[in-house]
């Protein structure tokens, strides 16, 4: 399904990791409006960058999210005195399973730092734009906060800082 000139629904949920693991990453149809909003936001990102982005990870079903965020979840549990039983609480906070986020790079434009800096200074209505090491996470919600963050990793454990550092 073509969502915008450069993005199809399938583009935004295709996952090599899910395919390798035999996980069906097809989103439920009720998330199509979120996929549409994300695709429209990504079109704006490409317009600002003047280059096509290289998508890494968009929609993630729960099974895929559980695998990809295992270290982050364990760290969250330790920080908040939670256990594996608290997965539903953690999962409810995630934007990829809601079809609201995309992780990407755009080396033709520059580094993740340079990309986030440009997006932060643009008029794009995003929820979060996060420099996550070697990639950029951007999300689009009905009520965007325009939150800029930087993530650093220590042995796979993320540490979030407001702003671009």
Tens-place pLDDT, residues 93-142: 999 999 999 999 999 999 999 999 999 999 999 999 999 989 999 999 99
Q: Go through 87-122 and write b for each residue having 16 or more CB atoms within 10 A of its CB, e for each that does not.
A: beebeeebbbbbbbbbbbbbeebeebeebbbbbbeb
Q: Report the CATH number that the domain containing residue 104 is assigned in CATH.
A: 3.30.1380.10
**Residue 65 included in any domain:** yes
Q: Specify the pLDDT at position 9.
A: 97
Position 31 scores a pLDDT of 98
Q: Is residue 55 one of the residues assigned to a domain?
A: yes
Supply the range of the domain harboring residue 30.
Answer: 9-162
**Looking at the domain assignment, is residue 86 inside a domain?**
yes
Q: Which residues contact 6 (CB under 8 A, 6 or more apart)?
A: 42, 43, 46, 52
Q: Say if 2 falls within a structural domain.
A: no
* Residue 53 forms part of a structural domain: yes
List, in order, residues 6 or more apart from 110 with CB less than 8 Å away: none
Model pLDDT, residue 118: 98
The domain tally of the chain equals: 1
For residue 160, list its beta bridge partners.
151
Whether 156 is in a domain gets the answer: yes
pLDDT band of residue 155 (cuts 50, 70, 90) is confident
Q: Between the CA of residue 3 and those of 20, 124, 128, 139, what are the distances in Å? A: 26, 18, 21, 16
Asked whether the beta carbons of 9 and 1 are under 8 A apart, the reply is yes
* pLDDT over 90 at 157, yes or no: no
User: Is residue 4, in this structure, part of any structural domain at all?
Assistant: no
Over residues 78-100, the mean pLDDT reads 96
* pTM listed for this prediction: 0.92
Distances from the Cα of 125 to the Cα of 29, 40, 91, angstroms: 24, 10, 24
Contact between residue 46 and residue 6 where contact means Cβ atoms under 8 Å apart = yes
pLDDT of residue 91: 96
Q: Reply yes or no on whether the pLDDT at 156 is more than 80.
A: no
Q: Residue 133's Cα: distance from chain center in Å?
A: 13
Average pLDDT on 27-48 reads 98
């Amino acid at each position: 399904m073509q969502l915008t000139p450069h993005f199809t629904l399938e583009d935004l949920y295709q996952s090599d990791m899910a395919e390798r693991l035999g996980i069906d990453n097809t989103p439920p149809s009720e998330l199509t409006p979120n996929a549409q909003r994300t695709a429209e936001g990504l079109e704006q990102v490409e317009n600002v960058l003047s280059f096509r982005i290289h998508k890494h990870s968009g929609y993630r079903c729960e099974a895929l999210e559980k695998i990809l965020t295992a270290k982050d979840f364990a760290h969250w549990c330790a920080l908040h005195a939670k256990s594996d039983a608290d997965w539903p609480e953690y999962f409810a906070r995630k934007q990829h399973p809601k079809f609201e986020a995309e992780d990407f790079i755009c080396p033709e434009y520059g580094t993740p730092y340079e990309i986030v800096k440009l997006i932060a200074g643009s008029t794009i209505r995003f929820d979060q734009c996060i420099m996550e090491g070697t990639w950029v996470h951007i999300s689009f919600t009905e009520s965007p906060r325009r939150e800029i963050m930087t993530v650093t990793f220590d042995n796979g454990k993320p540490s979030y800082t407001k702003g671009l550092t």
